[in-house]
């Protein structure tokens, strides 16, 4: 090991965690194949290799370890003010002492893997390096797909390069002769997913699942990276990146930021219905953005794979995702068919007559439980995607012309509108969210759950400072070089509860208007909330949609917006005395335009 500091950290971790052996991950295909085969032999994973899928595997987690655990996720700093009101906080020295006690001997009977990884193309000025130490083979296999791993990363790191320390343990040491459970983890109250931004460090204990354990994902790429971005004047955001090419051959790049269940991955892999338009994927989840010398904002996708929600993914909703997961994919908590394939709810119109569910039990169409867990996942290489852009790994990034922000709103919010300015766009992103509609929480139906920038669980510092950072970024270049900002809402409904807009590939019609707005080729008209398409500017060629539906999609109802403003004011109480002045200003301007 050439890097003295890294070797010292490895040695220190060995002395804490006491693993039986240590493996330095080199990032080769043979390593991956051998580790996957070992998991299958140990009956911890199931091989999925049939006429539909090649070289895939299925894992089943413990029922207590199926999703992110926000209540056990911490931003740990010296001062509580730095974490802010949207994060759980424990003083860093106290939390380190608490977790060190748990790490002591936590890897006994296990192998400790050391995974050097790069977030972003190796060697890019945009990229950052991390090293994850883990005792979970599941984590190793997923990190191999989701990031660039191994010796080539160590070469870039050299003798003294900076890296983020990522330590993970499932928290389940083994005594000699003790059998290992199918999915080792700890009870939820023992789990810790802790970010230490002042140390560029992540410590995770007790969970083996997803973003709790794949520390390059939300922990590094958003919570730690958002702190790095603030210090270094760039942005780490929960955004897809889409490449859009017109029939004339002009290419634009846009980002999209949406809370969960709002069609983010579907948009990232959209098949346009408009003739001659081409859409390609740069990334589906995270974007890192920097200004370059030409004054424009450029973005990379720091990930190398997709960690997507399988539930609801089908040939109808996202055919490109279905093609992506036909090979070299890890499935988590999906059901198993009788012919050795995978299945989940809404994958097919007809349910299979029999399955083995995500907990290994027999399942039939009349079974009371779902066959797959609602948060079941697939982990697939981005290179598998049939519409991945040729330049998706460009180390220079791609120039962003437009940014989309939106949630799931059955009323009030128009299909699309453009902000009046960059500052107004930051305001729109700060108030985005989704309306609660599930009957199981009927006492809260109609309440908007705000998710600023779709980053509420992922901002690694005080939300007020985060908004101020965005506003400061807008001052680093001329206004004409900044991306245009748009509010999006695919989910508006009529009085009978039917969607007014068909969605999916038809969303390309909205993208075309956004594209043309960035080119100065279309017309918009000012409404009280923003700039909406002028009459006949939204291309509806060949679309069977009622004229009244189009009118309703862009209706700005004054009474509804008065209620919306009251909801925004209530949300802004979150900031206390630290509400950014610009947000107050933009809210006042909205009130004036609405007539309050």
Give Cα 391 to chain centroid, integer Å. Answer: 21
Please, which residues bridge with residue 381 across strands?
A: 305
Query: Which residues lie closer than 8 Å to 438 by C-beta, 6 or more apart?
Result: 445
Q: β-pairing, 416-418 with 484-488?
A: antiparallel
Q: Are 61 and 44 in contact (CB under 8 A)?
A: no
Q: Look up residue 86 and give its two tokens.
A: 């949207």
Q: Are 381 and 29 in contact (CB under 8 A)?
A: no
| CA dist 30 → 33, 34, 278, 529 (Å) | 5, 6, 36, 56
Q: Look up residue 476 and give its two tokens.
A: 């680093």
Q: Report DSSP state, residue 388.
A: B
Q: What is the H or E stretch that residue 176 is in? A: none
What's the chain's Rg over C-alpha atoms? 24
Q: How many angstroms separate the CA atoms of 472 and 574, rounded?
A: 21
Q: How many angstroms separate the CA atoms of 537 and 552, rounded?
A: 16
Of 56, 185, 262, 376, which one is the catalytic site residue? 262
Question: Which contacts (CB < 8 Å, 24+ apart) does range 363-366 have?
Answer: 363/335
Q: How many angstroms separate the CA atoms of 241 and 249, rounded?
A: 19
Q: Which of 198, 242, 120, 252 is nearest to 519 (CA)?
A: 252
Looking up tokens 């190796």 gives: 122
85-100: string of b/e by CB count within 10 Å (b at 16+)?
Answer: ebbebbebeebbeebe
On the 0-12 / 13-18 / 19+ scale of CB atoms within 10 A, 145 is buried
Query: Which residues lie closer than 8 Å to 164 by C-beta, 6 or more apart?
Result: 128, 129, 130, 131, 200, 201, 202, 220, 224
Q: Look up residue 406 and give its two tokens.
A: 């939106």
Q: Which of 284, 239, 309, 301 is nearest to 458 (CA)?
A: 239
Q: β-pairing, 235-237 with 192-196?
A: unpaired
Q: How many angstroms separate the CA atoms of 133 and 139, rounded?
A: 10
Give Cα 200 to chain centroid, integer Å. Answer: 20
Give Cα 265 to chain centroid, integer Å. Answer: 9
Per the annotation, the verdict on 56 as an active-site residue is no
Q: Are 197 and 211 in contact (CB under 8 A)?
A: no
Q: Are 86 and 574 in contact (CB under 8 A)?
A: yes
DSSP letters for 241-280: EEEEE-TTS-EEEEEEE--TTSSHHHHHT----STT-EEE
Q: How many angstroms separate the CA atoms of 411 and 333, rounded?
A: 34
Give the other-Cβ count within 10 Å of 58's Cβ.
23
Q: Which residues are catalytic?
A: 262
């Amino acid at each position: 090991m050439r890097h003295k500091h890294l070797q010292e950290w490895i040695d220190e971790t060995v002395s804490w965690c006491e693993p039986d052996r240590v493996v330095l991950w080199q990032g080769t295909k043979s390593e991956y194949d051998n580790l996957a085969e070992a998991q299958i032999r140990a009956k911890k994973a199931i091989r999925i290799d049939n006429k539909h899928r090649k070289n895939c595997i299925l894992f089943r987690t413990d029922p207590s370890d199926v999703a992110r655990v926000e209540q056990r996720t911490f931003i740990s700093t010296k001062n509580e003010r730095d974490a802010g009101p949207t994060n759980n906080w424990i003083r860093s020295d106290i939390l380190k002492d608490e977790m060190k006690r748990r790490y002591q001997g936590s890897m006994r009977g296990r192998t400790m893997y050391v995974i050097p990884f790069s977030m972003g193309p190796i060697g890019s000025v945009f990229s950052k390096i991390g090293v994850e130490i883990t005792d979970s083979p599941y984590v190793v296999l997923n990190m191999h797909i989701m990031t660039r791993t191994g010796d080539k990363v160590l070469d870039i790191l050299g003798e003294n390069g900076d890296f983020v320390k990522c330590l993970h343990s499932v928290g389940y040491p083994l005594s000699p002769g003790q059998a290992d459970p199918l999915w080792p983890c700890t009870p939820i109250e023992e789990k810790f997913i802790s970010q230490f931004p002042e140390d560029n460090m992540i410590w995770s204990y007790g969970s083996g699942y997803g973003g709790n354990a794949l520390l390059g994902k939300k922990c590094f790429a958003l919570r730690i990276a958002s702190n790095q971005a603030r210090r270094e004047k760039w942005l780490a955001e929960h955004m897809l990146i889409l490449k859009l090419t017109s029939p004339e051959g002009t290419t634009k790049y846009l980002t999209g930021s949406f809370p969960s269940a709002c069609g983010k991955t579907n948009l990232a892999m959209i098949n346009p219905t408009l003739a001659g338009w081409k859409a390609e994927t740069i990334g589906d989840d995270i974007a890192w953005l920097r200004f370059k010398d030409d004054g424009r904002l450029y973005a990379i996708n720091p990930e190398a794979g997709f960690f997507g929600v399988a539930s609801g993914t089908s040939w109808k909703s996202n055919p490109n995702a279905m093609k992506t997961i036909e090979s070299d994919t890890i499935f988590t908590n999906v059901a198993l068919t009788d012919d050795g394939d995978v299945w989940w709810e809404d994958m097919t119109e007809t349910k299979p007559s029999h399955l083995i569910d995500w907990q290994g039990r027999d399942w039939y169409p009349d079974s009371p439980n779902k066959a797959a867990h609602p948060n079941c996942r697939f982990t697939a290489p981005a290179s598998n995607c049939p519409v991945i852009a040729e330049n998706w790994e460009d180390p220079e990034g791609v120039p962003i012309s437009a940014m989309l922000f939106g949630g799931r709103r059955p009323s009030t919010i128009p299909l699309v509108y453009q902000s009046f300015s960059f500052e107004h766009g930051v305001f729109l992103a700060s108030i985005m969210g989704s309306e609660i509609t599930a009957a199981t929480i009927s006492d809260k139906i109609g309440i908007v759950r705000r998710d600023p920038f779709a980053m509420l669980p992922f901002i690694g510092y005080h939300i007020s400072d985060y908004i101020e950072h965005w506003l400061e970024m807008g001052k680093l270049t001329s206004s004409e070089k900044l991306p245009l900002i748009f509010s999006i809402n695919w989910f508006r409904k009529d009085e009978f509860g039917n969607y007014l807009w068909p969605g999916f590939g038809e969303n390309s019609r909205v993208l075309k208007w956004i594209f043309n707005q960035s080119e100065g080729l279309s017309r918009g008209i000012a409404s009280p909330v923003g700039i909406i398409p002028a009459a006949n500017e939204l291309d509806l060629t060949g679309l069977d949609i009622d004229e009244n539906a189009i009118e309703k999609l862009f209706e700005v109802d004054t009474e509804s917006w008065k209620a919306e403003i009251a909801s925004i004011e209530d949300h802004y109480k979150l900031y206390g005395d630290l509400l950014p002045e610009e947000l107050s200003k933009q809210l006042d301007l909205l009130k004036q335009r609405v007539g309050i």
